[in-house]
Chains A and B, each alone.
Chain A
Amino acid sequence: MMVTMRLFSHYPILIFAGISALPARAQTAPQPLIAVQLAQLQFPRIAIAGSGTGSVTINPASGAISSTGAIHVFSGTAAAATLQIIGVPGSLVSVRVPATGQLVSPSGQIISLQALTSTGQNGLRLNSVGLAQAKIGGTLPVTATTSAGIYRGRAIVAVDYVFE
């Protein structure tokens, strides 16, 4: 009899503590955020003319391609990277990329990408079904000593909820 009484007196206390913790946590722990690359950042084909330096830039917001210096920009495929973000509908997320990155050719030559920027750098609002796309662009600088070839690289993009 004594044993039974003590058992009841402890159960309600512990269970209550467990339940009260659930909603409190749920408010600050939304569903996982997912980011998937839909398209890679592809610079246009370029040829370096003369002995000067130059660069080609892809604007992430507009997709516009601009160039400086003595380079020839070929027409053809070029695009900002596209990331699909999936998360809590209506929430604000930040999509951040490192400002610089490296592209490497098969022969080991390196081009340092500059001014990598994301359209979600300062916050991107997910729509009513929890989707948004972020674009990433940047600047490819070249010099007269940059060798011909196909250069590849990658950047880690960090996506976070922005608590409002």
Chain B
Amino acid sequence: MRNMILRTAVIAATATATLGFAGSANAASATANATATIVQAITIAKTSDLNFGAIAPSATGGNVTVSTADTRTACTGGQFCSGTVTSAAFAVAGAPSYTYAITLPAAAVTLTRVSGTETMTVASASFGHSAGATPALSAVGAATFKVGATLAVGANQVAGVYNGSFAVNVDYN
């Protein structure tokens, strides 16, 4: 008799406990994965300066052009050009096989005479590089290219050494 009552009570208690457990499934958790890929930064370093060589000016002025092949391809206006010329050279490092873009000066670059105020200019449109239409880094993430330009020399330009600087930027495409 007493056993019977006890058994029934146990069943009722079990049912309540099961419902209570089901109630804890009100909450769920999930794992959200996240990924990010950081690509090696692209860097550029100058390895050679642009050098237009020695120029004996004329009465009319003229141009001197240095190509990306390190040759003087023009010396106009009756000037006399001599000496070694070099194009500017750059080394690029970055992620292997990625393509990149080169930005050459957007404005004219001015060269000023050392210990003087006289100037000459290199027109922005005259800058050109040797890296082709779609520059790309090699399989080991390296590239080099050269930059040439045309210097405009004034009539009877004052003799001296003229210096200037320009920036070349690279960025991934």
Interface size for A (C-beta < 8 A) is 65
Asked if A124 CB lies within 8 Å of chain B CBs, one says no
Q: Does B22 contact A (CB under 8 A)?
A: yes
- Interchain pairs with CB closer than 8 A, number: 165
A68 at the interface (CB under 8 A from B): no
A83 to B38, CA, bound (A): 25
In the bound assembly, the distance between CA atoms of A155 and B116 in angstroms comes to 65
A81 touching B32 in the complex, CB below 8 Å, given contacts A7-B4, A14-B8, A18-B11: yes
- B167 part of interface (Cβ distance < 8 Å): no
Give the Cβ gap from A9 to chain B, nearest Cβ, in Å: 10
Given contacts A6-B1, A10-B5, A46-B39, contact A34 B34 (CB under 8 A): no
User: Is B139 on the interface with A (CB-CB < 8 A)?
Assistant: no
B37 adjacent to chain A (CB < 8 Å): yes
Q: Is the CB of B19 within 8 A of A40?
A: no
Say which size band chain B's interface belongs to. Answer: 35 or more
How far is it, in angstroms, between the C-alpha of A146 and the C-alpha of B19 when the chains are bound? 51
Complex contact A148–B9 (CB within 8 A): no
Contacts of A40 in B (CB 8 A): 32-35
Given contact pairs A7-B4, A21-B12, enumerate 19 new A-B contacts (beta carbons under 8 Å).
A10-B5, A10-B8, A33-B28, A34-B28, A37-B33, A40-B32, A40-B35, A41-B33, A41-B35, A42-B35, A46-B38, A50-B41, A72-B172, A74-B39, A81-B34, A97-B32, A111-B36, A157-B29, A160-B28
